[in-house]
Amino acid sequence: MATPDWDIPLEQQPDQSNCAFDLDQALRAVVGLKARAPEDAFTAAILGTERIGNGVVISSDGLVLTIGYLITEAESIWLTAHDGRAVPGDALAYDHATGFGLVQPLGKLGLPYLPPAREDDARVGDQVIAAAHGGRSRALRGEIIGREEFAGYWEYLIDDALFTAPAHPLWSGAALISSKGTLLGIGSLILQREDDKRKVDMNMFVPSWLLQPILPDLMRYGRVNKPARAWLGITAVESADAIFIGGVTDGGPADEAGIQPGDRIIAIGDTEIEDLPTLWRSIWQFGDAGARVPLTLARKARTYSVTVTSGDRTARFTTPKLH
């Protein structure tokens, strides 16, 4: 697995003298991850077929937690340890609501693990370490600068995301390590925020404590054992106080209902829509996949109403081929 030919600047790397745990031992729990999805995968056009990132060993039996978009529809996965050893892995589970993915190594790596942190272990202002595969040279000292809801344009919402700065450039599936040496979160995104009239680069991490309530289902069924969340097959763009359709999935529920990119979303049912969190919550309040969702939209100077029969996003995923 290729790794960048540069290091995090030494002055930004963590130092053992400032850690109350074995730093190098903790960093060895972070593995490299390389996945390949087939050309005809539903997510190939957006995520590509070759995906490279990180994962974190979270249990004594070697279970690896990562960000789900790296392994969605993957037909092959390889995990790489700090010393270069590599083993194949199996995409055990994916949860769209949190964004987590689980990988079961198909060989023994014999690595330490990072136990998930408790919710009260994360406070704004806490010093943390964002760590990608590669030891101290890929580890970055940082700070939690926010805990708040995050809404993604791809029909995604979590109530209590962790935001850190400075931003780690290798964020996908990276580990966010607390001052206690526990796993606070899994890296999902790099974002920018306006702060005192300047732009600040930051990472968004999915909190690790969201895993425990769903872990038994993920281990047994590969997903949470309840009806799938309603999915319209849209991306949404927030502009000032208005929300617009950014794109529609070909053949998806919104596409079949005649919704087009550029349409402005005025309301979902009786709820006026001014931001992304309100949009997604308003859609989901009508029920699970299969629910009929009433929308009011504007196209140019014309307002129109349409009811979309929602679907299950994961039903469109390809089944990995056995070799």
pLDDT tens digits along 270-296? 999 999 999 999 999 999 999 999 999
Report which of 116, 128, 119, 136 is spatially closest to residue 164, judged by C-alpha positions.
128
Question: Among all chains, which residue has been given the structure tokens 């009011």?
Answer: 296
Cα angle vertex 126, ends 135, 6, to 5°?
25
Q: In whole angstroms, what is the distance from residue 263 CA to residue 1 CA?
A: 43
The structure tokens 């054992």 sit at 225
Tell me which fold the domain 1-226 belongs to.
Thrombin, subunit H (2.40.10)
Q: Please report the pLDDT score of residue 323 as a whole number.
A: 43
Q: What is the mean pLDDT of residues 237-252?
A: 94
Beta-bridge partners for 285: none
> What residue segments make up the domains of the chain, in order of their start?
1-226, 234-316
Q: What is the pLDDT of residue 3?
A: 55
Q: Does residue 147 have a pLDDT over 70?
A: yes
pLDDT at 199: 87
pLDDT digits (tens, 9 = 90+) for 94-113: 999 999 999 999 999 999 99
Q: Which fold has domain 234-316?
A: Pdz3 Domain (2.30.42)
Q: What is the 3-state secondary structure (H, E, C) of the chain?
A: CCCCCCCCCHHHCCCHHHCCCCHHHHHCCEEEEEEECCCCCCCHHHHCCEEEEEEEECCCCCCEEEEHHHCCCCCEEEEECCCCCEEEEEEEEECCCCCEEEEEECCCCCCCCCCECCHHHCCCCCEEEEECCCHHHHEEEEEEEEEEEEEECCCEEEEEEEEEECCCCCCCCCEEECCCCCEEEEEEEEEEEEECCEEEEEEEEEEHHHCCCCHHHHHHHCCCCCCCECECCEEEEEECCEEEEEEECCCCHHHHCCCCCCCEEEEECCEECCCHHHHHHHHHCCCECCCEEEEEEEECCEEEEEEEECECHHHHCCCCCCC
Is residue 86's pLDDT more than 50? yes
Is the pLDDT confidence value at 1 over 50?
no
